[in-house]
Structure 1
Amino acid sequence: MTTTGCSIGNEAGSAYLVDGGSVSDASVQHDSSVFTQENVTTTPTDVETASFNRAQITFAVRHALIAKALAAKGIVITDAELAAAQAQVTAPGADPNLPLQVGLPKAKEADVLHDAVALDALVKALPAAGAPVSDVAVTAEGVPAASRAEAVSLRSHFIADPGSMDAAVAAVGPTNGVPKKVYRLLQTPAAGTAGLYQPSTGAVVIVPGSSGYLVLRTSGRSVISTNLTPAAFSSLAGLSSLFNVGALLLAPYQGAAGISVNPRYGLWDPASLQVVPGNDGL
């Protein structure tokens, strides 16, 4: 986790710290509960609830970092810009539930809209050559799992007994397994949610696959300095992609924000700027 100053441990009460302020467990769990009531028709599993909680914290921390970035760049989001964006999302054919795209309850629509407009403004303020960011390339291989529950069980087993993962990969073979492949943060930003790009090489993570899930172990990691240009954003599809790639523009501000996440919820990944699963695999 990335921290400056104080941090929080695995105690009840505080979910995370950012900019010197503590946000309670109750606040995060309330938002997750409302999201569940609005969008989930069955009782969520522990795995699903954990992912909902991480989404709430990720958005809130990024929201704070966006405020820092706007202030540093002297950018002010006007009411007129927000009104224009609101008109777009309420137009016929538009997605009626914008917060759902980033895992938030409907009551967060104003915040989601603000941050989408803010990220767009930060992108438009970039020079044509772009801004320097850190892309991450990881090499990973693994095995498939039919369900998330199976993937969590396999991950826990592989972490406890690393040799068993070698055996499992060999047993399924390259045809039925997941052969070594290089994943890039800028090309596959959604995998950042699983913690694929976190600093620790050898991490075992769970990534959604075309059918079921993939349990992957990273065997190599490199950081590539590159420039993120306005043109790179023109090909992004969906709000979550804008938030995940746009988050890289916020990296210069995370060190001073004193980000600390209660390990009950996961770990703060400074590469993809989001909360990722901890050792429990949830």
Structure 2
Amino acid sequence: MGWIIRRFAPIIVLVSSVLLLAGCGNGPTKASSAAIVGDETISLEQVQQDVNWLLHNMPEARQAEEQDGLGQFSRHVLRAHIHHELLDVAAEREGLSAEREDVDEILESWGGVDEAPAAVGIPPEYIERFATDIVLLQELGERYIDRVSVDIVGAEVTGDTPEEPMREQAMALGREIADDPGRANEIIEAEGQPVIDETFSPGDLIEQGAMELATSALFSAESGTVAVIQPNSQQPVWLVALVTGRDVGGGEGDADGAQTPQADPQMLYSLGLRMLSPIAEELGVEVNPRYGVWDPAGVDIAESEDHTVGELIPARDVEP
């Protein structure tokens, strides 16, 4: 997996992936919890300790505190805690394991185990765990890149109106389809939009250059869900898609072991995170309101409901 690590190194500098620590506690206690993942509690005290470390070791965090913007650092730290809890479950179920040489290669790309904490903003006691989880998430993404596919019926929303921005238009269309999925085609045509009736896999979309869509909520949504998402965050387009079928094959990527050429380390990492979403739905994720809300469409913590990357709406029926 050396090719994976070499191109992934720049991604790690992002503060959004600061810490991957285990939750603590013997059972969920909301009053003292930053988040609860299934039966595991991530304590307020632990998250505050992590943020304090950032304040003492990262100039960016100190600057954010001075500008009253430390909330984003707290959310990023807590998100990493949650991802770690979910990854523990995924790794056990999928039989994932990180090769020592791959973990060491990541550490070396950060300057070695002694320099890595300062280079990527992670306390020394957690640096190896962080590197290990990166390897595991890439392996998880590699395992599903050509293994999961979805059938969708949907449409694009491509313009604001004076009365309703695109996001609100897309959400309204999504709710209408979810209320009566058997009429999805009719509802879309009544809006004057062409119907999208396609089968997608992450590998196919990567080949087409649709990188964000390849790691989007489409591939974690269960059949009978309406996904309302942006296929590309840099373009003013929303996709409203009723997932009419989701298939997960029994293999581990391409049968011949070949890797999709454009599936770089960041792509595999992002797809690995996406594959944590069904586990989050199964176990349940609760976030203390002081940090925001859990965003299933983003597998992330959003500042508020208005800042989520989209919405997953259960439909009354799976038939389009």
| 2:273 is aligned with 1:254 | no
Higher relative contact order (CA 8 A, sep 6+): 1
Q: Secondary structure at the match of 2:83?
A: helix
Listed as ranges, the gaps of 5+ residues in structure 1 are 1-5, 144-162, 167-184, 193-198
Q: What residue number does 1:159 align with?
A: none
**How much has 1:16 moved relative to structure 2?**
0.3
Q: Shift of residue 118 of structure 1?
A: 0.5
Tell whether the 8 Å contact from 1:244 to 1:272 is kept in structure 2 after alignment: no
1:87 aligns with 2:108: yes
Mapped pair 1:131 → 2:143: no
Q: Secondary structure at the match of 2:58?
A: helix
Distance 2:233 2:63 in 1: 20
- The alignment status of 1:105 with 2:122, answered yes or no, reads yes
Superposed counterparts of 1:165-180, under 5 Å:
none
> 2:97 matched to which residue of 1?
76
- Identify which of 288, 295, 298 aligns with 1:269: 295
* Separation (CA, whole Å) in 1 of partners of 2:159 and 2:123: 37
Unpaired runs of at least 5, structure 2: 1-26, 166-201, 203-209, 217-224, 309-320
Match of 1:38 among 50, 58, 77: 58
Deviation at 1:66, TM superposition (A): 1.3
The verdict on how the C-alpha distance between 1:96 and 1:69 changes in structure 2, with shifts beyond 3 A counting, is same
| Distance in 2 separating the partners of 1:200 and 1:59 | 27
CA contact (8 A) 1:129 1:227 kept: no
- % of aligned pairs identical? 18
Tell me how far apart the structure 1 counterparts of residues 151 and 41 of structure 2 sit (CA, whole Å).
28
Partners of 2:107 and 2:116 within 8 A in 1:
no
Counterparts in 2 of 1:200 and 1:73: CA distance versus 1, 3 Å? closer
The alpha-carbon distance between structure 1 residues 276 and 259, as it changes in their structure 2 partners (threshold 3 A), is same
Residue of structure 2 equivalent to 1:118: 136
Q: Secondary structure at the match of 1:83?
A: helix
Aligned residue runs from structure 1 range 178-189, under 5 A: 187-188=211-212
Q: Which whole-Å CA distance do the structure 1 matches of 2:150 and 2:29 have between them?
A: 28
Q: Which residue of 2 aligns with 1:154?
A: none
Residue 25 of structure 1 deviates from its aligned partner by: 1.6
Q: How many residues align?
A: 224
Query: How far 1:52 moved relative to its partner?
Result: 0.9
1:76, distance to aligned residue in structure 2 (A):
2.6
Q: Deviations over 1:227-246 (max 9, x none)?
A: 8967887536675x554332
Q: State the secondary structure of the residue aligned to 2:63.
A: coil
Specify whether residues 245 and 238 from structure 1 end up closer, same or farther in structure 2 by C-alpha distance, changes over 3 A only: same
Corresponding residue for 1:245? 271
Distance 1:262 1:236 in 2: 35
Tell me, yes or no, if the aligned pair for 1:18 and 1:260 is still in contact at 8 Å.
yes
Structure 2 CA distance for partners of 1:34 and 1:79, relative to 1, 3 Å: same
TM-score by length of 2: 0.50
Equivalent-residue separation in structure 2 for 1:98 and 1:222 (angstroms): 45
Aligned partners of 1:69 and 1:253 also within 8 Å: yes
Give secondary structure in 2 for the equivalent of 1:42. helix
* Per-residue deviation, residues 214-273 of structure 1 (Å, max 9, x unmatched): 9x9x7956559588967887536675x554332112223223323111121111111221
The letter for the 2-side match of 1:109 is I
What's the secondary structure of 1:32's corresponding residue? helix
Alignment of 1:16-35 (within 5 A): 16-35=35-54
